[in-house]
């Protein structure tokens, strides 16, 4: 199995690395710490067992890739200026399956338009994983992927990939409703990521310990569910208390957006918060709580990046 992992950060290194352990041939393109990773590979500390991942090729750009990939993983963050389609230039062959392991909504549309004859798999990762410095990755909890075929239906290529992941210590659920999975993850992600940053740098436990913030979380989730329902995604209001309870019982956790903020990296605001605000407005669903925290987050992000 030939894999090209474009923009291989923490999530990419873990997923591709586990497949490489089981025999896949993996090339990666890297955004930062290129020399270090080319020389030493990734060092991954994981609750499922530590390992080292030395990719077969470490590239600065997919243009350098000369092989035919069975699967191209795109694991970049979804930022406003990122052009995912351009990243695929020249490497998508007739049978290449494009796998988006990313957050956000509607991220498949542009790819499908550019490559209408290629199969696209859309993937939501539940991996408590971060890059600390350079080539060091820490995987602290979770370990599940949910994969669906863009456009729905069964898929042999997906089945093969799921089998490979399952054999490589990464549990995968194949779903025929990946939109639901994306929204379900967003429900938690928007709420806790946004409050963790806008509230001044809070772990999940600190959010749940503060009645006003926990109620704000409930209000944000209510709005997200209404927007999801308006686009025919069946999130239910029961999920609110389930997620609150789940989060309360989970060990104190620093959200990925907060880690990005503290590292002064750009935040995935547009893809996860802005998109829901825009969908709400387009569908006449009032989203005042979302719109408030969205406006504040964009300001915080802008100042944070400027201050590098």
The residues of the shown chain that bind a second copy, judged by CB under 8 A, are: 195, 198-202, 210, 212-213, 215-216, 219, 286, 288-289, 291-296, 298-300, 303-304
The contacts of residue 39 (CB under 8 Å, 6+ apart) are none
Give whichever of 164 and 202 is closer to a second copy, judged by the CB atom: 202
The tokens 């290129």 sit on which residue? 34
Whether 63 contacts 27, CB under 8 Å: no
Instruction: Supply the minimum distance, in Å, between the C-beta of residue 250 and a second copy.
Output: 19
The token pair at 243 is: 């997620």
Give whichever of 79 and 157 is closer to a second copy, judged by the CB atom: 79
Give whichever of 95 and 299 is closer to a second copy, judged by the CB atom: 299
Longest Cα–Cα distance of the chain, Å, equals 55
Instruction: Supply the minimum distance, in Å, between the C-beta of residue 254 and a second copy.
Output: 14
Instruction: Supply the minimum distance, in Å, between the C-beta of residue 237 and a second copy.
Output: 17
Q: What is the DSSP string of 44-90?
A: EEETT--EEE--SEEESSGGG--S--SEEEE-----TT--HHHHTTT
Q: How many CB atoms lie within 10 A of CB 230?
A: 14
Instruction: Supply the minimum distance, in Å, between the C-beta of residue 204 and a second copy.
Output: 13
Give whichever of 165 and 294 is closer to a second copy, judged by the CB atom: 294
Instruction: Supply the minimum distance, in Å, between the C-beta of residue 138 and a second copy.
Output: 25
Give whichever of 17 and 217 is closer to a second copy, judged by the CB atom: 217
């Amino acid at each position: 199995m030939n894999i090209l992992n474009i923009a291989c950060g923490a999530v990419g290194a873990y997923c591709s690395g586990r497949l490489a352990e089981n025999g896949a041939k993996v090339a990666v393109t890297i955004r930062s710490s290129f020399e270090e990773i080319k020389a030493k590979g990734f060092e991954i500390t994981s609750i499922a067992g530590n390992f080292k991942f030395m990719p077969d090729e470490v590239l600065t750009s997919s243009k350098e890739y000369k092989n035919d990939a069975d699967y191209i993983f795109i694991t970049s963050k979804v930022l406003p200026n990122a052009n995912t389609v351009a990243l695929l230039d020249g490497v998508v062959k007739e049978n290449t399956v494009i796998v988006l392991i990313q957050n956000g909504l509607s991220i498949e549309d542009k790819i499908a338009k550019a490559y209408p004859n290629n199969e696209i798999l859309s993937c939501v990762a539940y991996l408590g994983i971060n890059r600390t410095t350079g080539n060091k990755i820490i995987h602290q909890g979770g370990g599940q992927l949910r994969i669906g075929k863009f456009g729905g239906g069964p898929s042999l290529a997906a089945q093969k990939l799921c089998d490979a992941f399952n054999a490589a210590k990464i549990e995968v659920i194949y779903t025929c409703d990946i939109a639901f999975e994306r929204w379900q993850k967003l429900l938690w992600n928007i709420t806790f990521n946004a409050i963790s940053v806008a509230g001044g740098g809070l772990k999940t436990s600190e959010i749940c310990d503060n009645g006003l913030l926990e109620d704000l979380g409930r209000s944000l989730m209510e709005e997200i569910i209404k927007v999801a329902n308006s686009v025919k995604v069946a999130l239910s209001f029961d999920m609110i208390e389930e997620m609150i309870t789940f989060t309360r019982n989970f060990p104190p956790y620093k959200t990925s957006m907060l880690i990005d903020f503290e590292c002064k990296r750009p935040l995935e605001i547009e893809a996860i918060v802005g998109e829901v605000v825009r969908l709400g407005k387009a569908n006449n669903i009032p989203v005042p709580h979302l719109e408030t925290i969205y406006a504040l987050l964009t300001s915080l992000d802008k100042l944070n990046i400027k201050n590098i």
